[in-house]
């Protein structure tokens, strides 16, 4: 058996990612708690409930497990509705809760990355019109400044808004996220305000903490034409690809937001990003169809790709390299801020992790400035409109008892974190089914 290792650069960050609403529990003052109470919104009528009980303190044991398993970083979000429960009131106890988490990470030599907005909005903001309101960028800047002043001495890495492209498409094109609209013009208004809000937050954080690194986190969707010979498939795949992947980040390069046939000048956005956060899960093939409700394209998975438990994700590791090559064009350092697969019996996840990290290594070996990788997620959590039907965690979760369940993937990822790379010894012992693929001969 050959012995080798795909080694990552010294100082590389290895972590997992979580978000407030998905793990804290009882987030009763935000848009998603209200959304869950409406019939038909969440698969099987699930609700987040106590989630993973992080607001009750179980973040500590989960982060202890992460640190013991070799992780030296963690990406998490703070909850706007807890920190600012009403327009004129700030909750210092909530800020102290997050401060205790950050102090714990520093004591355990874990680098934090903090997200300010991960899909949830305070109810008072939604009553004002949500992200369609012209007031949002100013309000978000005020919120960002307050958090930076309270926590900035413990945080260097910030992502103001998680996956704004997903928020827009799910909330305004598909209607599966709050506010549940199917109105592209409203979606464009919301995305415009998200660009402005990110730029405003960037300035506020840097005023408080000049040495901060403030980046974007974009869900990169690998969209390819179903038929390479079909000009219509090529055209619609390109339209969807640019709308989903490029609209938000290009605004920070050009000062102009372009989405489909809509355009807005936002000069204050230019160069307001210090790194590019890439979130990659799968690849889809696009076929042209005469249906404007689906942007004239039907998406399917490659037939030869393994599927996740519910068929939500196809395992296509090559898309990870594609995503990182896309991110390289923005000429900023790169973090993989999310990558993962839902897999309740943990049969696909071990090889998914190894092969996607191997593609990340390939990109790093080409001198792409990749500085860290965060697996989604640390523990099974509430997966938005899919509720508890999908299990992304390294550790499983019994929702009723709150018991954490050790999975084989914990050991696979721990070995990668500790070795700062993928070793032939680890693959041979824990993921032997892909050994010859990674270490031929």
Domains for the chain: give ranges and CATH numbers.
5-243+274-438 (3.20.20.80)
> Mean pLDDT across the chain, nearest whole number?
97
Q: Sorting pLDDT into bands at 50, 70 and 90, what band is 1?
A: low
Q: Which of 18, 10, 4, 9 is nearest to 382 (CA)?
A: 18
C-alpha to C-alpha distance for 415 and 399, rounded to whole angstroms: 27
Q: Sorting pLDDT into bands at 50, 70 and 90, what band is 2?
A: low
H or E segment to which residue 222 belongs: strand 216-225
Q: Sorting pLDDT into bands at 50, 70 and 90, what band is 330?
A: very high
Lowest mean pLDDT among 126-140, 209-223, 289-303: 289-303
Cβ count near 334 (within 10 Å): 25
CA angle 67, 110, 77 (to 5 degrees): 100
pLDDT, one tens digit per residue, over 41-59 is: 999 999 999 999 999 999 9
pLDDT, one tens digit per residue, over 271-306 is: 999 999 999 999 999 999 887 776 788 999 999 999
Mean pLDDT to the nearest integer, 403-416: 98
Mean pLDDT to the nearest integer, 232-250: 97
8-state DSSP, 268: G
C-alpha to C-alpha distance for 170 and 98, rounded to whole angstroms: 28
- Within a 13 Å sphere around the CA of 48, how many CA atoms are in the beta-carbon half? 30
Q: Sorting pLDDT into bands at 50, 70 and 90, what band is 427?
A: very high
The pLDDT score that the predictor gives to residue 297 is 87
H or E segment to which residue 413 belongs: helix 408-419
The pLDDT score that the predictor gives to residue 293 is 72
- Partner residues linked to 375 by β-bridges: 16
The pLDDT score that the predictor gives to residue 3 is 86
Mean pLDDT to the nearest integer, 7-12: 98
Q: Which residues contact 382 (CB under 8 A, 6 or more apart)?
A: 21, 22, 23, 46, 48, 51, 388
C-alpha to C-alpha distance for 415 and 437, rounded to whole angstroms: 19
CA angle 139, 54, 400 (to 5 degrees): 130
- Partner residues linked to 397 by β-bridges: 404
CB 307 within 8 A of CB 301: yes
CA angle 150, 154, 156 (to 5 degrees): 105
């Amino acid at each position: 058996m050959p012995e080798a290792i795909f080694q990552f650069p010294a100082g590389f960050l290895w972590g997992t990612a979580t978000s407030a609403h998905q793990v804290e529990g009882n987030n009763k003052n935000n848009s998603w708690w209200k959304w869950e109470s409406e019939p038909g919104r969440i698969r099987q009528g699930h609700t987040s409930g106590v989630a993973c009980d992080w607001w009750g303190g179980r973040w500590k044991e989960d982060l202890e497990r992460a640190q013991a398993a070799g992780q030296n970083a963690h990406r998490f979000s703070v909850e706007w509705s807890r920190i600012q429960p009403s327009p004129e009131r700030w909750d210092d106890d909530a800020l102290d809760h997050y401060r205790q988490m950050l102090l714990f990470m520093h004591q355990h030599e874990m680098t934090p990355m903090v997200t300010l907005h991960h899909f949830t909005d305070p109810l008072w903001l939604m009553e004002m019109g949500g992200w369609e309101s012209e007031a949002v960028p100013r309000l978000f800047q005020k919120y960002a400044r307050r958090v930076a002043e309270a926590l900035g001495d413990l945080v260097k890495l910030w992502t103001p808004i998680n996956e704004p492209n997903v928020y827009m498409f799910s909330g305004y094109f598909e209607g599966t996220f709050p506010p549940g609209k199917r109105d592209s013009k409203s979606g464009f208004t919301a995305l415009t305000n998200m660009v402005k809000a990110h730029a405003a937050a960037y300035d506020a954080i840097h005023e408080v903490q000049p040495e901060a690194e403030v980046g974007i986190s974009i869900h990169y969707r690998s969209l390819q034409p179903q038929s390479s010979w079909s000009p219509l498939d090529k055209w619609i795949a390109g339209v969807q690809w640019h709308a989903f992947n490029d609209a938000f980040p290009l605004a920070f390069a050009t000062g102009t937001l372009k989405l489909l046939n809509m355009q807005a000048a936002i000069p204050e956005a230019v160069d307001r990003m210090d790194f590019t956060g890439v979130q990659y899960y799968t690849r889809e093939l696009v076929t042209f169809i005469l249906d404007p409700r689906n942007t004239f394209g039907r998406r399917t998975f490659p037939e030869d790709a393994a599927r996740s438990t519910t068929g939500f994700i196809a395992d296509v590791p090559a898309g990870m390299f594609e995503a990182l090559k896309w991110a390289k064009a923005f000429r900023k350092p790169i973090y993989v801020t999310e990558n993962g697969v839902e897999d309740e019996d943990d049969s696909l996840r071990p090889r998914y992790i190894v092969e996607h990290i191997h593609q990340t290594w390939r990109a790093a070996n080409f001198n792409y400035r990749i500085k860290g990788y965060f697996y989604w997620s640390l523990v099974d959590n509430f997966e938005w409109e899919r509720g508890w039907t999908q299990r992304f965690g390294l550790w499983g979760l019994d929702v009723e008892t709150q018991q954490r369940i050790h999975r084989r993937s914990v050991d696979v990822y721990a070995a990668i974190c500790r070795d700062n790379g993928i070793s032939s010894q680890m693959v041979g012992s824990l993921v032997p089914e892909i050994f010859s693929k990674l270490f031929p001969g």
